[in-house]
Homo-oligomer: A and B are copies of this chain.
Amino acid sequence: MLITSLENQKIKKYLKLKNKKYRDLDKLYLIEGYHLVKEALDSNLLIDLFILENANINFNFPYTFVTKEIMKKLSSLETIPDIIGVCKMKDEEKIRGNKILLLDDIQDPGNLGTIIRSSLAFNIDTIVLSLKTVDLYNEKVIRSTQGMLFKINILRKDLKEVISDLKKNDYLILGTNVINGEDVRSIKTDKFALIMGNEGKGVDLELQELCDKNLYIQMNKDCESLNVSVATSILLYELSRK
């Protein structure tokens, strides 16, 4: 089947998913390109699929061909993809596992996506996004995760409440601070929650006070700080090596 009209009901519905309001309402979002669609299918999250007419793609999932005009409207990329999928959001689960990452108001979509990708690499069990962290289903976030968002437990919650619960359950709450901090390489813990903060402001002061320990990454003193996705990745890398 080939859809040629932008007035098609399905297409009209899915075009709205470019807007966060409708993503949240329908619990659906769009993903672009073969790699992401493949990962979503493998994770049983794919619910609909569109392929560019005449594209040489074979996919083991029911799909509909669409014209270049429709693909262009659905896409948020400059170069139109051959394939676009519609995914359902996962039901929010509870915090599980012993290795938790708390993200306090991360604003840049690329940073959030990259952090999610690294979290899978370094064995994080649950990521909790603060209420003001950038939307998980923003197209740039999804692209930067390289599909790893399908494979990891991600919630959105008030971090103060979360930390209070975690403390009752004996998680070591880890912050980042050079002053009074310890070199991350010297920390040994199997049950922790690491808090990372906003690109400009860092971690909220109230949350900082709830930390049991502060970590730092040994580096050249001429460099004030690292990009937050890099700093998070190095800390998780070190914590995964215990």
Contact = CB atoms under 8 A, between A and B. Distances in A.
Given A233-B233, A233-B234, A234-B237, A120 B227 contact: no
Given A217-B237, A218-B241, A234-B237, A223 B148 contact: yes
Given A217-B237, A222-B151, A233-B234, A227 B144 contact: yes
Interface string A205-239: 00000000000011110111111011001100100
A118 B227 CA distance: 8
A98 interface: no
Contact of A120 (B121, B144, B222): B222
Interface in A98-134: 110, 114, 117-118, 120-123
A76 interface: no
A109 to B, nearest CB: 11
Contacts of A241: 185, 218
A230 B118 CA distance: 8
A114 B233 CA distance: 13
A198 interface: no
20 contacts: A114-B227, A117-B223, A118-B230, A120-B220, A120-B223, A121-B223, A122-B220, A144-B227, A146-B224, A146-B225, A148-B223, A151-B222, A217-B237, A219-B237, A219-B240, A220-B240, A226-B233, A230-B230, A233-B233, A233-B234
Interface of A: 110, 114, 117-118, 120-123, 144, 146, 148, 151, 185, 217-220, 222-227, 229-230, 233-234, 237, 240-241
